[in-house]
Amino acid sequence: MKAKNCLIFGGSGHIGSNLIRKLTKNNLRVTVVTRNIHQKGLKIKTQANAGFIDIVESTIYDEKKIEKLFSKADYCINLVGILYESKKGNSFKNIHTIFPTLLAKLCKKYNIKHFVHLSALGINNATDSLYAISKLDGEKNILNIFPKTTILRPSVVFSNSDNFSTQFMTLLNRLPIFPLYYSGNTKFMPIHCSDLTSIILNVIQNETKSQIIECVGPEVLSFKEILEILLNLIEKKRFLIPLPLFAANLTAKFFQLFPNPLLTQDQLRLLKYDNITSGKYKTNSEIGLPSKLFFKNEVKKYSYMWKEGGQFSTEKYNEKS
Ligand SMILES: NC(=O)c1ccc[n+]([C@@H]2O[C@H](COP(=O)([O-])OP(=O)(O)OC[C@H]3O[C@@H](n4cnc5c(N)ncnc54)[C@H](OP(=O)(O)O)[C@@H]3O)[C@@H](O)[C@H]2O)c1
């Protein structure tokens, strides 16, 4: 049987790389669109066997080039997303609302079998976050235009190549004290990247009918518990100190002056809301795809790199006599 073709936007990222491997191992062909084939081409190319992958360079604003790709696509997957805004048109509205709306229109025009769009958990509640508003507006437009869409709303996604557990382990290594925003009480349901990409594969293979699915891991962890697990895994002791909101705001204001900010004011607003299932939408467990990978067990497999003597540790290895 001829392999079906998935057109993937944002495939060079954390979730995308894992997804390309999973889809192509399951006899699906992929066409991956990237803004920079010179910088990202090698990484994307090595995720799949030759013959199963094409790479196309395009910005998300080149409508003509993007439209051409739809004539050969069976499925479309959108993984493009940003955590903070930057110049040159990279606004939340352009990335999370206008671009997904264009994709939905093209899915309709070319009668694509199924559209999978990655959104985010907790966006209904976070009404003061521009990130959440833009994701929600994107979702609404997509569902109005192309109902054969499945929107996946993951909680925080982790793996050995994330920007979450690895970045926190680096920071915990370097800083003697660590700030707890909102006293560290915000709750998350971290899902392993591989569990999430299995859900995407399943949605594609079964052309799942649910329009919004909340994708979560097997446990609820507070921000403080996550930091404690990481500290325990890298065998470090640090002071975790609740930071008053005005001080947190000041630090976010300062950080967001940098090109890759650790925290922005919008992210700080988002952190106020629990990132857990709402009870209003189906979850991955309810569609028969429970996530089984626990945060501590999985991070343990790569946390050694942040332990004493490890590649990312600030301390040299002291030989025990
Ligand atoms: N990771 C998480 O914890 C998490 C949690 C909830 C929701 N999500 C959502 O899941 C999706 C994928 O997340 P991810 O962690 O894989 O993201 P990622 O690693 O940051 O990758 C996103 C991809 O989007 C493309 N992209 C970024 N900025 C762009 C821009 N200005 N214009 C065009 N393309 C741009 C990039 O592709 P090129 O550089 O190749 O063009 C990049 O590879 C996103 O929509 C995100 O919001 C992620």
The tokens for 5 are 């073709």
Check residue 316 and give its pLDDT. 66
Distance 100 CA to ligand 1 centre (A): 13
For ligand 1, atom 6, which residue shows the shortest CA distance? 120
DSSP-derived 3-state class of residue 238? coil
> Does residue 100 have a pLDDT over 60?
yes
Element (H, E) at 67: helix 63-70
* pLDDT tens-place string over residues 262-275: 899 999 999 999 99
In the prediction, which pLDDT does 318 show? 66
Q: Can you give the pLDDT at residue 250?
A: 95
The answer to whether residues 266 and 188 touch, using CB atoms and an 8 Å cutoff, is no
Q: Strands 221-222, 187-188: parallel, antiparallel or unpaired by DSSP?
A: antiparallel
Q: Which residues pair with 179 in a beta bridge?
A: 241
pLDDT tens-place string over residues 38-49: 999 999 999 999
Parallel, antiparallel, or unpaired: how do β-strands 149-154 and 114-118 relate?
parallel
Token digits of residue 174: 């370097």
CA of 13 to the centre of ligand 1 (A): 6
**Largest separation between any pair of C-alpha atoms in the chain:** 70
Asked whether the CA dihedral 230, 224, 179, 87 is positive or negative, the reply is: positive
- For atom 37 of ligand 1, which residue has the closest CA? 10
Average confidence (pLDDT) over 97-118: 98
Q: Could you identify the atom of ligand 1 that is nearest to the CA of residue 44?
A: 40
Residue identifier of the C-alpha nearest atom 1 of ligand 1: 157
- Arithmetic mean of pLDDT over the chain: 95
Query: Domain-by-domain residue ranges, the chain?
Result: 5-158+191-217+277-283
| pLDDT score recorded for residue 319 | 65
What pLDDT was estimated at residue 320?
61
Which burial class, exposed, middle or buried, applies to 150 when counting CB atoms under 10 A from its CB (0-12, 13-18, 19+)?
A: buried
Tell me the per-residue pLDDT of 58-95, one tens digit each, with 9 for 90 and over: 999 999 999 999 999 999 999 999 999 998 789 999 99
Q: Is the pLDDT assigned to residue 1 strictly greater than 80? A: no
Q: Looking at residue 259, what is its pLDDT?
A: 85
**What fold does the segment set 5-158+191-217+277-283 form as a domain?**
Rossmann fold (3.40.50)
pLDDT at 36 over 90: yes
Residue nearest to atom 44 of ligand 1 (CA): 81
pLDDT of residue 244: 94
Strand partners, 192: 158
pLDDT in tens, 217-226: 999 999 999 9
Residue 29 has phi, psi (to 5 degrees) of: -85, 150
- Ligand 1 atom closest to the Cα of residue 15 is 16
Nearest CA to ligand 1 atom 23: 10
Which residue stretches of the chain are H helix? 14-25, 37-45, 63-70, 92, 99-109, 130-145, 165-174, 193-206, 223-234, 245-255, 265-270, 295-303
Crossing angle of the two packed helices 165-174 and 295-303, in degrees rounded to 10: 60
Dump pLDDT digits (tens) for 244-254.
999 999 999 99
Q: Quick one: pLDDT at residue 233? A: 98
How many A from CA of 233 to the centre of ligand 1? 28
Report the separation in Å between the CA atom of 78 and the middle of ligand 1, taken as the mean of its atom positions.
Answer: 9
Residue 321 has pLDDT above 70, yes or no: no
DSSP state, residue 37:
H
Ligand 1, atom 33: nearest CA belongs to which residue? 60
Inform me whether the pLDDT recorded for 171 exceeds 70.
Answer: yes
Distance 183 CA to ligand 1 centre (A): 28
What is the structure's pLDDT at 314?
80
The answer on pLDDT for 231 being more than 90 is yes
Cβ–Cβ < 8 Å for 294, 226: no
Compute the radius of gyration of the chain from its Cα atoms: 20
Q: Residue 247: in which H helix or E strand, if any? A: helix 245-255
In angstroms, the CA 117 to CA 124 distance is 16
Query: pLDDT tier at 2 (50, 70, 90 boundaries)?
Result: confident
* Ligand 1 pocket list (CB less than 6 A): 10, 12-16, 34-36, 40, 60, 79-82, 90, 95, 118, 120, 154, 156-157, 164
Q: Which two tokens stand for residue 110?
A: 């070319």
Ligand 1 mean position to 134 CA, how many Å?
14
**Full-model pTM:** 0.96
**At which residue do the structure tokens 């995720």 appear?**
47
Q: How far is the CA of 117 from the centre of ligand 1 (A)?
A: 11
The two three-digit tokens of residue 124, written as one number: 């209904």
Please calculate the CA angle 57-39-77 and round it to the nearest 5 degrees: 45
Task: Determine the pLDDT at residue 272.
Answer: 96
